[in-house]
Amino acid sequence: MIDIDLSPALVIGVGLVGASVGCALTRAGLTVHLSDVKSSHARVAASRGAGTTTRPDPQTIRLVVVAVPPAALAEVIGMALATYPNATVTDVGSVKGTVLAALRHSGADLARYVGSHPMAGSQRVGPLTANADLFVDRTWVITPHDTSAAHAVLDVQELARLCGGRRVTMGAAHHDEAVAQVSHVPHLVSVLMAGRLTELPPEHLRLAGQGVRDVTRIAGSDPQLWRQILLANAAAVRVELEELQADLARLTEALDDPARVAELLERGREGTRSLPGKHGLAPVDYANVVVEIPDAPGALARLFADIQTAGVNIEDLSIDHDLEREIGFLSVQVAPDRVPALQAAMSAAGWTLRDREPQL
């Protein structure tokens, strides 16, 4: 176990991610200074236990964590390297290559800079929900570059360790390709699909089921943040979009060929199984038991008490609501062989079972 002292540290930009880093480092015993263009954010973060809003002596700062929005990263990192001559500087941005390129272009000495990307939280929200556990057991990507000093890399690894993250080290380009593939392009696909809905008449939308809702859900998130992320990673995203375009062309052309359509559908199912499932195990096909719940206080508590009484282990669950009646449905996912037991128990307890298979 190497012994690295990162105190005092400075967090610049205390949205949810920055403030939570402050909470984790403070809990680890470090002195943490907080700064944000919105001084109210800094005060809220301090009140959440993220650190102090007092100004530090620039000479003494050992670590600077830059947690500002993507568009401001390069400038703030460069400023931090200049202002805190004895500090290792890292950032928590979700795109690494363009920031590194901009810093190189600035001609700054980047030995003390090592990028990182904790896969948790979002710059979307403020520090109000900040907590020291945000990064516990979550992937924390560390992206050293060819001029990073060894001690700086060790400092950022220690930062990730103190925050409880699972450390993964890769180059900036490699990282940006990966997030383009598993995050940015999926987001754009959702946005494209959702965009098409704007052209549909209401009577068509009335036939919409759960499937289109799943596919388009993330298209509802903050356009301003995503604009910054996509512009910062445009190169990697373009490569993936061109692949997707080729796949889409192949699909359109294959539409009348049963064998090729079946192939494409199988490939898609295989893809869903390539994502790590619960507890890292291969995904299991659970069976759904759906119970009608009145929108009444206490109903869920009673329902769960009855489910637990049935002694059936709940693998997953979700609630959705009837479009026009004031009732909801609780979908409980259980191992297929437990379905009869749970259904019997629910009926015995007086609950109404319903079916909510995906609409076709």
Alpha-carbon dihedral of residues 17, 18, 20, 23, nearest 10 degrees?
170
- In this chain, which stretch among 35-43, 74-82, 153-161, 275-283 interacts with its own copies, using CB under 8 A? 275-283
**Given candidates 29, 107, 350, 358, which one binds its own copies under the rule CB under 8 A?**
358
Under the criterion CB under 8 A, does residue 107 sit at the interface with its own copies? Answer: no
Q: Which is nearer to its own copies, 75 or 133 (CB)?
A: 133
**Given candidates 40, 47, 147, 352, which one binds its own copies under the rule CB under 8 A?**
352
Least separation, in Å, of the C-beta of 301 and its own copies? 4
Q: Which is nearer to its own copies, 82 or 101 (CB)?
A: 101
Q: Which is nearer to its own copies, 110 or 303 (CB)?
A: 303
Under the criterion CB under 8 A, does residue 150 sit at the interface with its own copies? Answer: no
Q: How many CB atoms lie within 10 A of CB 204?
A: 10
Interface positions, 5-34, toward its own copies (CB under 8 A): 16, 20
**Which phi and psi (to 5°) does residue 11 adopt?**
-110, 120
**Which phi and psi (to 5°) does residue 248 adopt?**
-65, -40
> 70 in helix, strand or coil?
helix
| Distance in angstroms (rounded) separating the CA atoms of residues 337 and 169 | 42
Q: Are 286 and 313 in contact (CB under 8 A)?
A: no
| Distance in angstroms (rounded) separating the CA atoms of residues 44 and 14 | 9
Under the criterion CB under 8 A, does residue 278 sit at the interface with its own copies? Answer: yes
**Given candidates 53, 171, 187, 335, which one binds its own copies under the rule CB under 8 A?**
187
Least separation, in Å, of the C-beta of 60 and its own copies? 30
Both tokens assigned to 146:
């060819």
Under the criterion CB under 8 A, does residue 219 sit at the interface with its own copies? Answer: yes
Under the criterion CB under 8 A, does residue 197 sit at the interface with its own copies? Answer: yes
Site map 243..262 versus its own copies, x via CB under 8 A: xxx-xxx-xx--xx-x--xx
Place of tokens 């994502």: 275
What is the residue type of 173? A
- In this chain, which stretch among 25-33, 45-53, 133-141, 146-154 interacts with its own copies, using CB under 8 A? 133-141
**Given candidates 269, 282, 337, 350, which one binds its own copies under the rule CB under 8 A?**
269
| Distance in angstroms (rounded) separating the CA atoms of residues 231 and 226 | 8
| Paired strand residues for 113 | 89
Instruction: Tally the C-alpha atoms within 13 A of residue 81's C-alpha that lie toward its C-beta.
Output: 21
Under the criterion CB under 8 A, does residue 101 sit at the interface with its own copies? Answer: no
**Given candidates 270, 282, 337, 350, which one binds its own copies under the rule CB under 8 A?**
270
Q: Is 103 left (phi over 0), alpha (psi -120 to 50) or beta?
A: alpha
Number of residues lying near its own copies (CB under 8 A)? 141
| Distance in angstroms (rounded) separating the CA atoms of residues 312 and 342 | 7
Under the criterion CB under 8 A, does residue 79 sit at the interface with its own copies? Answer: no
Under the criterion CB under 8 A, does residue 276 sit at the interface with its own copies? Answer: yes
Interface positions, 166-185, toward its own copies (CB under 8 A): 166, 168, 170, 175, 177-179, 181-183, 185
| Residue among 323, 326, 308 nearest 356 (CA) | 323
| Residue among 22, 149, 45 nearest 92 (CA) | 22
End-to-end CA separation in angstroms for the chain: 56
**Given candidates 225, 335, 341, 349, which one binds its own copies under the rule CB under 8 A?**
225
Least separation, in Å, of the C-beta of 260 and its own copies? 10
**Given candidates 41, 113, 190, 351, which one binds its own copies under the rule CB under 8 A?**
190
Both tokens assigned to 105:
């272009």
**Given candidates 149, 173, 314, 341, which one binds its own copies under the rule CB under 8 A?**
314
